[in-house]
Amino acid sequence: MENSIFLYFIKINLAIALLYICYRLLFQHDTFFRLRRFTLLFIYFAAFFYQLPDLSSWLSNHSGVTEMVSYYSNFIPKETIVTTEDTITQSGWQDALFSCLQWGYIAGVIVLFLRCIFELSNVVCTYYTCKKTHINGIRVCLLPKAEAAYSFFGWIFIYPKQYSRTDLNEILLHEQTHVRLKHTLDLVVSEIISIICWINPCAWLIKKEISINQEYQADQEVLYAGYNKKRYQYLLIGLGHSNKAIAKLYNNFSVLPLKKRISMLNKKRTNSVVRIKYLALLPLVGGLLLINNIDTMAHLVTEQMTETEPVSTAEIHKPVTLPEETTAPLPPDNETKYTICDVMPKYPGSKEELIDFINKNIKYPEEALKKRISGRVSVSFLVNKDGSLSDFVVRRSASPLLDAEAIRVAKLMPKWIPGKLKDKTVTCYYTIPISFKLPKK
């Protein structure tokens, strides 16, 4: 369970990073502020939910995908079941390291969450303690001292005495835009995700992009209302009246974001035809969806595998002469061969019985022993609808000698219990890894 949550968390952060890089390369300099807003929120949505759709049944019908699943599953670490006197113990330092990282992450989440609660409580306390009035028909909360105006959901906080009438009208229109477009919702979402993914720099960069894009939108509305562009820019930078700058209008901006705002105010509107490039995110998300399903299918295949270790090979076996074998008939070419199904094929017995069968029948090739060759061979085969086995293929090779022995042992196995998809018996691939371990001297 913990591994599943950890893997899900890692995939979320990788998706956030990948999609943010795409945003940064393609969309950051556009003037489609509304479209950019929804694109940034879509990145969050896609990153958190692209792992949910299950396309395994559909993908299993495509041979290219099944080949990728089979190949990829060979590189996923598998739990090893040892059938000899040797035992494998997991390194204690790995558990300790993972535990430290886990508690470090939790501590970071707690600290950031408490900071968020503190900031929220400050806003709420200010709202309930300050005086309220109406300016130009707009209900505002009067700040007790001179500080930059800001808004939170439907509340607008301002200290009007420090502004001229024209400046005050521009600031109120700016803040009204934040309220009307419900920008606070975006910031709350970005704050929550930044807390959850605080170890990911891209999560913080997306939060910053959301904030600055909101300022672009609000600035644009002020200019659309007919206010003088040059005067508004002076207001932003506090030129000639340093105590009146509204660079902290919504968030506390540094000089660099302020320069970006002024640059965007003077930038020529992007041609509307360029909007089509925002569709580039769709194949990227589709690729993430495909890769995630392949990864999920490969892990499921891996879970079905049984890692075996041969019994002690101190006794050197003579070269083996393969007996005559009856090969099971191959399924018709038009019959669908699945890599994964609802109920995977199963050896007619327990996992331990499969291990015991392989251990009793495996014979370490004499030449491999002389050359000190060892390794793991992954053998894939088809479990047909009648349980017969066919189409034996080495998916992961150790050496030709060990590969041949692994195939020989696999072909000796009796009929399996076939797999099922939607309560129907189907032909399905299955892979077993067989480990060849040199005897201790």
How distant is the alpha carbon of residue 142 from its chain centre?
A: 44
Tell me: do 242 and 366 sit in the same domain.
no
- For residues 6 and 106, what is the distance between their CA atoms, to the nearest angstrom? 13
Instruction: Give residue 376's pLDDT.
Output: 85
In a domain, 317, yes or no: yes
Sheet holding 155-158, edge to edge: 131-135, 138-142, 155-158, 150-152
Last residue of a domain, one of 260, 290, 320: 290
CA torsion sign for 241, 244, 249, 253 is positive
Buried b (16+ CB within 10 A) or exposed e, 192-216: ebbbbbbebebbebbbebbbbbbbb
In a domain, 138, yes or no: yes
Instruction: Give residue 403's pLDDT.
Output: 92
Instruction: Give residue 306's pLDDT.
Output: 46
In a domain, 298, yes or no: no
Instruction: Give residue 1's pLDDT.
Output: 55
Last residue of a domain, one of 290, 319, 342: 290
- For residues 325 and 348, what is the distance between their CA atoms, to the nearest angstrom? 20
Tell me: do 223 and 325 sit in the same domain.
no
Tell me: do 311 and 272 sit in the same domain.
no
Last residue of a domain, one of 238, 267, 290: 290
Tell me: do 320 and 427 sit in the same domain.
yes
CA distance from start to end of the chain: 40
Tell me: do 46 and 9 sit in the same domain.
yes
Q: Which domain holds residue 101?
A: 2-290
The DSSP code sequence of 298-345 is: HHHHHHH--BB-PPP--SPPPPPPPPP-PPPPPPPTTS-EES--SB--
State the greatest distance between any 2 C-alpha atoms of the chain, in Å, as a whole number: 101
pLDDT in tens, 141-179: 999 988 888 899 989 999 898 888 888 999 999 999 999
Instruction: Give residue 254's pLDDT.
Output: 39
The answer to whether 195 and 11 are in contact (CB under 8 A) is no
- For residues 378 and 339, what is the distance between their CA atoms, to the nearest angstrom? 15
The DSSP code sequence of 167-192 is: HHHHHHHHHHHHHHTTHHHHHHHHHH
Say if residue 326 is exposed, middle or buried (CB neighbours under 10 Å; 0-12, 13-18, 19+).
Answer: exposed
In a domain, 257, yes or no: yes
CA torsion sign for 133, 139, 143, 146 is negative
The answer to whether 432 and 394 are in contact (CB under 8 A) is no
pLDDT in tens, 344-391: 898 998 888 888 898 889 888 989 888 888 888 888 899 999 999 999
Tell me: do 260 and 323 sit in the same domain.
no
- For residues 179 and 182, what is the distance between their CA atoms, to the nearest angstrom? 5
Q: Check which CATH number belongs to the domain holding 331 and give it.
A: 3.30.2420.10
Tell me: do 139 and 221 sit in the same domain.
yes
**Separation in Å, CA 397 to CA 83, 239, 305, 374:** 22, 72, 16, 11
In a domain, 299, yes or no: no
Instruction: Give residue 76's pLDDT.
Output: 65
Tell me: do 129 and 241 sit in the same domain.
yes
- Which positions of the chain have pLDDT values less than 50? 79-90, 239-255, 306-327
What pTM does this model have?
0.73
Instruction: Give residue 282's pLDDT.
Output: 94
φ, ψ for residue 195, nearest 5 deg:
-70, -45
Tell me: do 274 and 339 sit in the same domain.
no
Instruction: Give residue 135's pLDDT.
Output: 92
Instruction: Give residue 236's pLDDT.
Output: 83
Buried b (16+ CB within 10 A) or exposed e, 52-87: eeeebeebbeeeebbebbbebbbeeebeeeeeeeee
Token digits for 422?
């939607």
In a domain, 300, yes or no: no
How distant is the alpha carbon of residue 413 from its chain centre?
A: 40
In a domain, 209, yes or no: yes
- Quote the number of domains for the chain: 2
Tell me: do 345 and 263 sit in the same domain.
no
- For residues 441 and 414, what is the distance between their CA atoms, to the nearest angstrom? 34
In a domain, 296, yes or no: no
Instruction: Give residue 75's pLDDT.
Output: 65
Tell me: do 220 and 360 sit in the same domain.
no
Q: Beta strands 424-436 and 337-338: pairing type?
A: parallel
Tell me: do 338 and 238 sit in the same domain.
no
